[in-house]
Chain A
Amino acid sequence: MAGLEIISDQGYRIDGRRSSELRKVCARMGVFTQADGSAYIEQGNTKALATVYGPHEVRKGRGKIQHDRAVVNCQFSMATFSTGERKSRPKGDRRSQEMSMHLRQTFEAVIVTELFPRSQIDIYVQILQADGGNYCACVNAATLAVIDAGIPMKDYVCACTAGFIQDSPLLDISYVEESAGAPFLTVAMMPKSEQIVLLEMNSRLHADNMEKVLDLATQGCKDVFAVLDRHVRDHVSESHALMTAS
């Protein structure tokens, strides 16, 4: 029998999760001092680092200046050591550019850009280790970094994937599950208002299943939010404690 069994009859996936369970999420905010905001996140074996600079005056290409709002500049890259085989080109390839564009769209939607006319906000994200759900890890890390930088946002953006493999919807799919070739959704949403900021599907999926998968992804985003929210609150009160206590 060829191939891997993505989900067993008992409902366990290859790594032992059930179909609607996220991978373990670890996050840290303010990992760099030089940048205005930074964050590091681990979702299972996918590890991402995000830094935020700005808002500052528009440096390159004055043509980009918007008179009523700030422009958001995103750059996505993957460390050469992030995959099983060493990557020769860490950024600038088509996939990375696409990813950068998606990130920009996502964050232009949530950052209150109107507060900073004629300025620019830079978000740099790097995948240190890739194991499925790269975009999600980037979005989640960038959200934390933007919060860390104190740039006003309407809400968190949380992202999560959900796939439809072997006739069952699976949450937060890992690289092995991604490679199974089944359709999966990538959803970025504002968890409190349940507004979808970005939705991407890699291949065709029947409309009847779409709803199930989207529901699961929504739930996943909320679960991610719960984790991120805890981290942010801990971080805020921790810094306060440091300031006041000692």
Chain B
Amino acid sequence: MLKSKTFVKKTRKGGVLKVVREHYLRDDIWCGSAACGGCPQDRPVLEAEPEIDSTLCGFPHYLIPDTNVVLHQMDVLADSAIRNVIILQTVQQEVRHRSGTTYQRLRDQSNNADKHFYVFTNEHHRETYTEREQGESSNDYNDRVIRVATRWYNKHLQENRKDGDTPKVKVVLLTNDRENREKAQKEGLLAYTVHQYVKALKGNPELVDRLAQVDMGESTDSDIKNEATGRVLFPEHLPLSQLQTGIKSGRYLQGSFMASRENYLEANVLVHGDDSRSIFIQGHAHLNRAVNEDVVAIEMLPEDQWKCPSSMVLQDKDGDEETSEPDLGSPKGRSNAIPSGRVVGVIKRNWRPYCGVLQPSGIKEATRHLFMPAERKIPKIRIETRQAESLQGQRIVVSIDGWPRNSRYPKGHFVRKLGEVGDKDTENEVLLLEHDVPHQPFSQAVLNCLPSTPWGITKEDLACREDLRDIPICSVDPPGCTDIDDALHYVEKPNGNIEVGVHIADVTHFIRPNTALDQEAANRGNTVYLCDKRIDMVPELLSSNICSLRGKEERFAFSCIWEMTKDADIVSTRFCKSVICSKAALTYAEAQMMIDDKNRNDPVTVGLRGLNALAKILKKRRIDAGALTLASIEVRFHVDSETHDPIDLETKELRETNSMVEEFMLLANISVAKKILSDFPSCAMLRRHPQPPPSNYDILIKAGKSKGVDIETDTSKALAVSLDQATIPGHPYFNTLLRIISTRCMMQALYFCSGTLPESDYFHYGLATPIYTHFTSPIRRYSDIIVHRLLAVCINADKSYPDLLDKYKSQALCNNLNFRHKMAQYAGRASVELHTQLFFKNKVTEEEGFVLFVRKNAVQVLIPKFGFEGTIFLKSQDGRGEDSPFVFNEEESSQTAGEVKLRMFDRVVVQITVETSHIQHQKLRIRLVKPQVPGFTVPPVDTSNSAEPPVKKVKT
């Protein structure tokens, strides 16, 4: 029974509601110290003889940080030099309340046995419970609670020493609050600021750099004392309570702050709860120190102050603290103005550590430096470091600590060094970090979950699976593919119908729920493909061997088998776990050759032909239903086998067989989606693709009009038809460009859990199917693993487990998968960009390109051969292009210079070089060659480059 006293805590919530809660005090909470002989604890967390060399505290001691220390100095606490720390429950709760990410990091620390972090539940301990006094502010109360606990620890450790020999362990309170520190010292406690403590540590000089720069402790936060300029550059943020009442009353709106990639002075705020509503923000004062991804409160501006996006590409170039804003141009036509607002406060910061480089500083000994993040949406960060010299030319990680009103840039501190700029491994690391891709090698716990090798199929396995080893199954994949997760078969049945099977690697046989392997895979979400590297979701043994459906090897599969008529009408569908033996692992090209080779008539070839014929019917049917054929360009690098530098690149080719495999995968996915939804209406994992709001298509319609083509966007069917018809004689690439633009109009497809949305939202717009899921790639997508498990439960092949049927957990998982999926795409693109840069290093190339967008001071050009787009600046960046010959016409979005007019879809020739003048931040530079504009274009280099734009990959 409880050995506890009952206390009643009263709190007021909302208006008049009185909340009465019980608060039990216990006498069985131990101190967690190995030096203590009094507490009957099993495994003390804190070491008996903590050692840390310090000039300030030269005796064994434990640390107790207060809330602000944890919140701001997590980087210091996370350092391996800091060990034996007592985290009070009061502190932990407060941290949890204030910052989710810091709280997560704190938890990681306490779960790390080497760090010896002990969480002491002081508020339920009989001797450290403190009641709040009348009129005591919550800050004062928390400070007092922390002091009480510190005092208790000192007394407790002194009284309960294990034996005489062990040294006396003391407890040191770390607080940057002067008042608290003085009170503590008056009570006879040891209390220091973090800065005092860290500076006194011997042998860890680099820790000093990690100290966060905010609130040096002594400065009150009421009004910032302006250090240098004395100017206040930003309006004040409103307090949270005011924001909340404002949001409730509708005066302010809450939303996610999305900085513009093109223009650092512009941003959009996506209003929460109304996905389609986006508010435009422009200018320093209106942006008001919000950083990308923050949750902010905004106030709408009156309609006569609405702005329109400047259609200007703008980068924050100079590092001075000037506030002068380039003229963004007040919109002439009011009609263009869009709902605009200003940021009045930040509800939640979503800062993370950022990768980037130091901006070179003129003065060598300076300790204050500007840091340039790799992500363009993030502002530069001011940091203080004494090792600037050694950091030049290095990729480093920096965290933001705060953004005072008088500072042009946020303030931050150095976290760690990644490696040299331009080095491929460093750059890969940067892009993985920036996209939050988990890429550490698999832990031992994960590897322990793998089946032992050599692995073989046992009799028991065969007993519960269908034996399909005799059926002519084959797989068709891109060349060099080692993670083959799908295979097909085609057999004519005696009754004239056809049996078609899709066999998917049975990954869930090996990845059991809630194992370390499963958790790791769920966290990774998917395999990330970089140009020269694959970040696997599951260890290689599974992905490339046991699960991979290799040719002529017996493998477990999850099969989806249809009986179809010759006209591809499905008669029946059946799912089963099976054992298969693929007769051949083909590439797309090989399969195509087999189909085309009239002399071959073996079962596999016959099957391929049959599948191909069916696929054509299926595809036609799908397109008739309104499925979209969109385009994007994918390139493949030929990598030098020794240096691993790209030596050539080609765009991916598409054959009939690609589409053949794809059709059956789509069919399998749709069949599975129907099955799991009917059996699990509230917890099936599906994939939806919402129809984009009509405004998304504006740019596409405008683009079409500029060439006299009408694009219908009412339904996906109408869009598909009008895209098909949109061709211009003599401009073979026009259609592809249009499709590329329409791809950008689309919404993201998303995973979701069926119970969380109305059924009408299940729709997949791009595929024009009412329901869809992912079933066919369990080796590289975690969503498919969940779908496999659900399907296995449907057919009684496997047991369910709690989390599988919990729709909230499923939805949380979906959110992670969506995030990982998005990040994987971005990382892939960033990798291509990086390789493109490496490819063009020390080269001057001329290539054909097409104008994709015309901006106020630039044009964006797509170079099909290399599948990337670049920006040609036509004017200097501040937009006051006196020196530029180009004149911008907003109405027809064109740039004119004398006789030359640049419009959308115009063909140009550009010269591509890598800009090396700026070693810190290499980028591709694109300059116009044709059409020639005197004084602007560069002379053509004498190279012959007349490759036709290659065939585009069709994306569905």
Question: Is there any pair of Cβ atoms, one from A and one from B, under 8 angstroms apart in the complex?
Answer: yes
Say whether B103 contacts A15, CB under 8 Å.
no
> How many chain B residues have a CB neighbour from A under 8 Å?
36
User: Closest CB-CB distance, A79 to chain B, in whole Å?
Assistant: 15
Q: Which chain A residues border B96 with CB–CB below 8 Å?
A: 1, 5
Q: Which chain A residues border B8 with CB–CB below 8 Å?
A: 45
Given contacts A208-B802, A223-B1, contact A84 B23 (CB under 8 A): no
User: Closest CB-CB distance, B93 to chain A, in whole Å?
Assistant: 8
Q: Identify which of B14-22, B585-593, B832-840 touches chain A.
A: B14-22
Per-residue interface assignment for chain A, residues 1 to 37, with 1 indicating a CB less than 8 Å from any chain B CB and 0 otherwise:
1000100111010111100011110000000000000
In whole angstroms, how far apart are the Cα atoms of A223 and B870 in the complex? 72
User: Closest CB-CB distance, A47 to chain B, in whole Å?
Assistant: 11
Per-residue interface assignment for chain B, residues 17 to 33, with 1 indicating a CB less than 8 Å from any chain A CB and 0 otherwise:
11111111110000000
Tell me whether B801 is interfacial, beta carbon within 8 Å: yes
Tell me whether B806 is interfacial, beta carbon within 8 Å: yes
In whole angstroms, how far apart are the Cα atoms of A44 and B123 in the complex? 18
Say whether B806 contacts A206, CB under 8 Å.
yes
Cβ contact of A1, chosen from B20, B100, B806, cutoff 8 A: B100
Say whether A45 contacts B22, CB under 8 Å.
yes
In whole angstroms, how far apart are the Cα atoms of A8 and B119 in the complex? 10
Say whether A206 contacts B2, CB under 8 Å.
no
Closest 7 CB pairs of A and B: A206-B802, A16-B124, A16-B24, A1-B100, A15-B22, A84-B17, A209-B802
Q: Which chain B residues border A9 with CB–CB below 8 Å?
A: 107, 110-111, 119
Q: Which chain B residues border A206 with CB–CB below 8 Å?
A: 800-806
Q: Which chain B residues border A205 with CB–CB below 8 Å?
A: 802
Q: Which chain A residues border B802 with CB–CB below 8 Å?
A: 205-206, 208-209
Given contacts A8-B121, A206-B805, contact A16 B23 (CB under 8 A): yes
Tell me whether A85 is interfacial, beta carbon within 8 Å: yes
Cβ contact of A24, chosen from B4, B93, B803, B805, cutoff 8 A: B4
Say whether B2 contacts A1, CB under 8 Å.
no
Can you pick out 25 interface pairs between chain A and chain B where the beta carbons lie within 8 Å of each other?
A: A5-B93, A5-B96, A9-B107, A10-B89, A10-B121, A12-B124, A15-B22, A15-B23, A16-B24, A16-B124, A17-B2, A22-B1, A23-B2, A24-B22, A24-B24, A44-B22, A45-B8, A45-B20, A84-B19, A131-B22, A174-B22, A206-B803, A206-B805, A207-B800, A208-B802
Tell me whether B330 is interfacial, beta carbon within 8 Å: no
Q: Which chain B residues border A21 with CB–CB below 8 Å?
A: 1-2
Say whether B119 contacts A24, CB under 8 Å.
no
User: Closest CB-CB distance, A236 to chain B, in whole Å?
Assistant: 22
In whole angstroms, how far apart are the Cα atoms of A222 and B32 in the complex? 32
Which residues 40-98 of B sit at the A interface, judged by CB distance below 8 A? 89, 92-93, 96-97
In whole angstroms, how far apart are the Cα atoms of A15 and B23 in the complex? 5
Say whether B124 contacts A1, CB under 8 Å.
no
Tell me whether B220 is interfacial, beta carbon within 8 Å: no
Say whether B24 contacts A17, CB under 8 Å.
yes
Q: Which chain A residues border B956 with CB–CB below 8 Å?
A: none
Q: Which chain B residues border A16 with CB–CB below 8 Å?
A: 4, 22-26, 121, 123-124
Say whether B18 contacts A84, CB under 8 Å.
yes
User: Closest CB-CB distance, B354 to chain A, in whole Å?
Assistant: 22
Q: A16-B22, A16-B26, A206-B801 are in contact. List 17 more A-B contacts (CB 8 A).
A: A1-B96, A5-B93, A8-B89, A14-B21, A16-B24, A21-B2, A22-B1, A22-B2, A23-B2, A24-B4, A24-B6, A44-B22, A45-B8, A131-B22, A204-B805, A206-B804, A208-B802
In whole angstroms, how far apart are the Cα atoms of A239 and B20 in the complex? 35
Per-residue interface assignment for chain B, residues 783 to 811, with 1 indicating a CB less than 8 Å from any chain A CB and 0 otherwise:
00000000000000000111111100000
User: Closest CB-CB distance, B272 to chain A, in whole Å?
Assistant: 13
Per-residue interface assignment for chain A, residues 171 to 185, with 1 indicating a CB less than 8 Å from any chain B CB and 0 otherwise:
000101000000000
Per-residue interface assignment for chain A, residues 213 to 238, with 1 indicating a CB less than 8 Å from any chain B CB and 0 otherwise:
00000000001000100000000000
Cβ contact of B24, chosen from A8, A15, A131, cutoff 8 A: A15
Q: Which chain A residues border B23 with CB–CB below 8 Å?
A: 15-16
User: Closest CB-CB distance, A240 to chain B, in whole Å?
Assistant: 26
Per-residue interface assignment for chain B, residues 686 to 717, with 1 indicating a CB less than 8 Å from any chain A CB and 0 otherwise:
00000000000000000000000000000000
Q: Which chain B residues border A10 with CB–CB below 8 Å?
A: 89, 119, 121
Which residues 74-92 of A sit at the B interface, judged by CB distance below 8 A? 84-85
User: Closest CB-CB distance, A128 to chain B, in whole Å?
Assistant: 13
Q: Which chain A residues border B805 with CB–CB below 8 Å?
A: 204, 206
Given contacts A1-B103, A16-B24, A206-B802, contact A85 B17 (CB under 8 A): yes
User: Closest CB-CB distance, B12 to chain A, in whole Å?
Assistant: 11
In whole angstroms, how far apart are the Cα atoms of A22 and B2 in the complex? 8
Say whether B17 contacts A23, CB under 8 Å.
no
User: Closest CB-CB distance, A95 to chain B, in whole Å?
Assistant: 20
Which residues 111-165 of B sit at the A interface, judged by CB distance below 8 A? 111, 119, 121, 123-124
Given contacts A1-B100, A12-B124, A24-B6, contact A176 B119 (CB under 8 A): no
Q: Which residue of B lies closest to A212 (CB)?
A: B802
User: Closest CB-CB distance, A10 to chain B, in whole Å?
Assistant: 5
Q: Which residue of A lies closest to B26 (CB)?
A: A16
Per-residue interface assignment for chain A, residues 66 to 79, with 1 indicating a CB less than 8 Å from any chain B CB and 0 otherwise:
00000000000000
In whole angstroms, how far apart are the Cα atoms of A12 and B4 in the complex? 13
In whole angstroms, how far apart are the Cα atoms of A131 and B18 in the complex? 12
User: Closest CB-CB distance, A230 to chain B, in whole Å?
Assistant: 11
Say whether A24 contacts B19, CB under 8 Å.
no
Say whether B801 contacts A23, CB under 8 Å.
no
Say whether B800 contacts A15, CB under 8 Å.
no
Q: Which residue of B lies closest to A223 (CB)?
A: B1
Q: Which chain A residues border B119 with CB–CB below 8 Å?
A: 8-10
User: Closest CB-CB distance, B351 to chain A, in whole Å?
Assistant: 15
User: Closest CB-CB distance, B129 to chain A, in whole Å?
Assistant: 9
In whole angstroms, how far apart are the Cα atoms of A123 and B773 in the complex? 55
Which of B103, B802, B805 has the most chain A CB atoms inside 10 A of its CB?
B802
Q: Which chain B residues border A84 with CB–CB below 8 Å?
A: 17-19
In whole angstroms, how far apart are the Cα atoms of A28 and B936 in the complex? 96
Which residues 44-75 of A sit at the B interface, judged by CB distance below 8 A? 44-45
Say whether B2 contacts A15, CB under 8 Å.
no
Given contacts A208-B801, A208-B802, contact A15 B121 (CB under 8 A): no
User: Closest CB-CB distance, A225 to chain B, in whole Å?
Assistant: 13
User: Closest CB-CB distance, B294 to chain A, in whole Å?
Assistant: 16
User: Closest CB-CB distance, B73 to chain A, in whole Å?
Assistant: 20
In whole angstroms, how far apart are the Cα atoms of A208 and B799 in the complex? 10
Given contacts A8-B121, A206-B806, contact A15 B25 (CB under 8 A): no
Q: Which chain A residues border B26 with CB–CB below 8 Å?
A: 16
In whole angstroms, how far apart are the Cα atoms of A206 and B1 in the complex? 29
In whole angstroms, how far apart are the Cα atoms of A5 and B119 in the complex? 15
Q: Which chain A residues border B2 with CB–CB below 8 Å?
A: 17, 21-24
User: Closest CB-CB distance, A20 to chain B, in whole Å?
Assistant: 11
Q: Which chain A residues border B806 with CB–CB below 8 Å?
A: 206
Say whether B21 contacts A15, CB under 8 Å.
yes
Q: Which residue of B lies closest to A15 (CB)?
A: B22
Q: Which residue of B lies closest to A14 (CB)?
A: B21
User: Closest CB-CB distance, A83 to chain B, in whole Å?
Assistant: 10
User: Closest CB-CB distance, A118 to chain B, in whole Å?
Assistant: 44
Q: Which chain A residues border B4 with CB–CB below 8 Å?
A: 16, 24
In whole angstroms, how far apart are the Cα atoms of A39 and B8 in the complex? 24
Q: Which chain A residues border B92 with CB–CB below 8 Å?
A: 8
Q: Which chain B residues border A207 with CB–CB below 8 Å?
A: 800
Q: Which chain A residues border B89 with CB–CB below 8 Å?
A: 8, 10, 12
In whole angstroms, how far apart are the Cα atoms of A23 and B89 in the complex? 21
Q: Which chain A residues border B18 with CB–CB below 8 Å?
A: 84
Q: Which chain B residues border A208 with CB–CB below 8 Å?
A: 801-802
Which residues 93-128 of A sit at the B interface, judged by CB distance below 8 A? none
User: Closest CB-CB distance, A228 to chain B, in whole Å?
Assistant: 13
Q: Which residue of A lies closest to B809 (CB)?
A: A167
In whole angstroms, how far apart are the Cα atoms of A85 and B22 in the complex? 18
In whole angstroms, how far apart are the Cα atoms of A23 and B8 in the complex? 13
Say whether B121 contacts A23, CB under 8 Å.
no
Q: Which chain A residues border B110 with CB–CB below 8 Å?
A: 9
User: Closest CB-CB distance, A163 to chain B, in whole Å?
Assistant: 14
Q: Which chain A residues border B103 with CB–CB below 8 Å?
A: 1
Cβ contact of B20, chosen from A85, A131, A209, cutoff 8 A: A131
